[in-house]
């Protein structure tokens, strides 16, 4: 009965909108289908049939729009439910409050993503391929957010004990509804062709001319203009992005010679909800160790942060699960704002292996880029949480599951270093978290170097190191054109628990080299594949991220396809 009352919220209005929307559609599907036929293409056909109106057939577009509107209503109600629990925070433990605050943030993001999706698909039966990828990305992230909320609550005993009876059914049913929405959208809008033929998010010649690409719009103060000219010639233009469009720049220096002495104060000065064509708000962080927890909110878009180099500009923290934080909020640097770019910066979590999950960077920023950065931790170093991400010439250090999450992420020309874990532990480079077959997510590792860090290389122990293991049911990871050193166990991959996900995961290798790249003794799971160039091309920057449409605005170098 709890699930019926939860989903009855505004159902009558949604049915009315469902049928009235048919007459408004610009491009209705030519052939109506029965609801049960539409539902059979989803992971939850019975649940889908209980959601869709049963008394009249519609097109797949009609069903998709109805399901997304229903999802927005449910997400809104779930956010209200979480807020109600948080209002009683005096009765909750600190870990429980932190877990619920994660859910609150994630629920707000889901409402934003669903509102955007409703607006995009409300009146058309077809979309340009880039907009199609945008919507599929948002719907994929909504499921990830829901799962993250559940994981955080379940891992916090005090939180789960309090909210389990009231929140588990809404979480479960909400996840099923989001899966149905994603499946219906995928069937109706996503076409299996080269996605890279979408519109390009590049500045037009007129825009480049107006802004004199690489120069600053007139809104910059004279002091900051002088600072930019000085710093850019001395630091930025030598090795990074010589002609990126910048709207404003500030300098962070601990000695007081810049605009701010902390990174968080500089971030707080950034404008809200800017667009790529406005130019980046650039924060130059002078060399030093900045012991602070930096958060880039959803409103802080197109922010670029440039340091003096790896191991020169360092952001450092030590939060961990052992010390009462959720994995999600243990991050030293947490990024949500779209279009974020970081260059020449090291981010550390110094909690150590003994503290278990302790994140250095959590990235949930769409169209985000890290170039020439270093991520240092042990377990769960880099949380590639959601949406579309690109990493170029970065160093990643860790032990257990140290590249994990459910973004669509491409690592290119990076160095991935396995460190020495605690006694009795193993190393797993990746733990990809795809939970649904229609999510367009996965981890793609191209032209990278897989090596032992110095502590592991010099140890006399027998630590086993694997390319990855399946954190979630549809885990997807591809290694291609990379150097794999001898630290990798001949089996290559490790199971999570028993036969969990071994038939539903997608793990693949293509044209790798090095003493650990041999595939003769690799696992024989149904989900493991040796792929050819045609299949590998699906996981390149161009096809997997549609990166040709947005990475050029960052001026970060990249390879579009296979080498």
Residue 449 is part of a domain; what is its CATH number? 2.160.20.10
d(CA 332, CA 451): 25
This prediction has a pTM of 0.89
d(CA 450, CA 458): 16
359 and 483 within one domain: yes
Number of domains in the chain: 2
Supply the pLDDT for residue 194: 41
The answer to the question of residue 349 being in a domain is yes
The answer to the question of residue 358 being in a domain is yes
The answer to the question of residue 417 being in a domain is yes
State the DSSP code for 26: S
* Average pLDDT per block of 10 residues along the chain, 563 residues long: 41 39 40 90 95 86 95 97 93 93 98 97 83 97 98 91 90 96 95 47 32 38 52 47 82 96 98 94 97 98 97 98 96 98 98 97 98 98 98 98 98 98 96 98 98 94 95 98 98 98 98 98 98 98 97 95 96
Q: Compute φ and ψ for 11, nearest 5 degrees.
A: -65, -40
d(CA 281, CA 286): 16
- Could you give the residue numbers annotated as active site? 401
Residue range(s) defining the domain that contains residue 124: 35-189
Q: CA Rg, the chain, in Å?
A: 24
d(CA 261, CA 240): 23
Picking from 162, 189, 216, the residue at the C-terminal end of a domain is 189
The answer to the question of residue 224 being in a domain is no
Supply the pLDDT for residue 227: 54
DSSP letters, 415-451, are: EEEE---STT--EEEEEE---STT---EEEEES-EEE
Pick from 13, 67, 9, 8: nearest CA to 38: 67
Cα separations in angstroms, 481 against 478, 510, 538, 545: 10, 6, 14, 18
Buried b (16+ CB within 10 A) or exposed e, 457-468: eeeeeebebbbb
Say which CATH number the domain at 72 has.
1.20.140.40
Helix H or strand E encompassing 478: strand 476-480
């Amino acid at each position: 009965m709890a699930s019926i009352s939860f989903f009855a919220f505004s159902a009558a209005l949604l049915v009315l909108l469902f049928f009235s929307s048919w007459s408004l559609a610009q491009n209705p599907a030519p052939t109506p289908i029965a609801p049960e036929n539409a539902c059979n293409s989803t992971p939850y056909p019975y649940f889908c049939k209980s959601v869709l109106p049963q008394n009249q057939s519609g097109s797949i577009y009609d069903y998709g729009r109805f399901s997304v509107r229903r999802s927005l209503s449910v997400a809104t109600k779930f956010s209200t439910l979480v807020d109600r629990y948080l209002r009683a925070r005096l009765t909750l433990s600190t870990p429980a409050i932190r877990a619920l605050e994660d859910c609150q943030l994630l629920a707000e993001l889901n409402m934003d993503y669903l509102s955007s999706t409703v607006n995009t698909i409300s009146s058309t039966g077809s979309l340009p391929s880039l907009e199609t990828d945008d919507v599929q990305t948002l719907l994929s992230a909504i499921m990830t957010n829901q799962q993250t909320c559940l994981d955080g609550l379940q891992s916090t005993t005090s939180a789960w004990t309090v909210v389990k009876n009231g929140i588990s059914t809404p979480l479960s049913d909400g996840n099923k509804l989001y899966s149905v929405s994603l499946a219906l959208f995928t069937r109706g809008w996503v076409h299996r062709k080269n996605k890279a033929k979408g519109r390009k998010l590049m500045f037009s010649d007129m825009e480049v001319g107006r802004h004199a690409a690489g120069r600053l719009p007139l809104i910059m103060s004279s002091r900051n203009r002088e600072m930019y000219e000085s710093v850019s010639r001395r630091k930025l233009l030598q090795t990074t992005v010589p002609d990126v469009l910048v709207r404003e720049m500030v300098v962070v220096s601990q000695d007081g010679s810049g605009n701010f002495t902390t990174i968080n104060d500089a971030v707080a000065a950034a404008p809200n909800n800017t667009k790529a064509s406005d130019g980046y708000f650039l924060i130059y962080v002078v060399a030093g160790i900045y012991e602070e927890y930096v958060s880039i909110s959803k409103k802080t878009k197109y922010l670029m942060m440039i340091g003096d180099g790896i191991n020169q500009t360092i952001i450092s923290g030590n939060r961990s699960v052992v010390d009462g934080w959720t994995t999600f909020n243990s991050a030293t640097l947490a990024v949500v704002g779209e279009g974020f770019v970081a260059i020449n910066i090291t981010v550390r979590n110094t909690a150590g292996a003994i503290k278990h999950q302790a994140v250095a960077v959590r990235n949930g920023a769409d169209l985000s880029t890290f170039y020439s950065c270093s991520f240092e931790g042990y377990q769960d170093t880099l949380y590639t949480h959601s949406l579309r991400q690109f990493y170029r010439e970065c160093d990643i250090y860790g032990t257990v599951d140290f590249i994990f999450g459910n973004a669509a992420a491409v690592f290119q020309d990076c160095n991935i270093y396995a460190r020495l874990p605690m006694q009795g532990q193993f190393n797993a480079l990746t733990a990809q978290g795809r939970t649904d077959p229609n999510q367009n997510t996965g981890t793609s590792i191209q032209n990278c170097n897989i090596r032992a860090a110095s502590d592991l290389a010099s140890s006399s122990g027998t630590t086993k190191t694997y390319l990855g293991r399946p954190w979630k049911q549809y885990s997807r990871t591809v290694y291609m054109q990379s150097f794999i050193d001898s630290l990798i166990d001949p089996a290559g991959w490790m199971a999570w628990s028993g036969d969990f996900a071994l038939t539903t995961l997608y793990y693949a290798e293509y044209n790798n080299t090095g003493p650990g790249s041999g595939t003769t003794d690799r696992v024989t799971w149904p989900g493991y594949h040796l792929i050819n160039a045609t299949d590998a091309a699906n996981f390149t920057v161009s096809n997997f991220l549609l990166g040709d449409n947005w990475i050029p605005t960052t001026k970060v170098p990249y390879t579009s396809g296979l080498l």
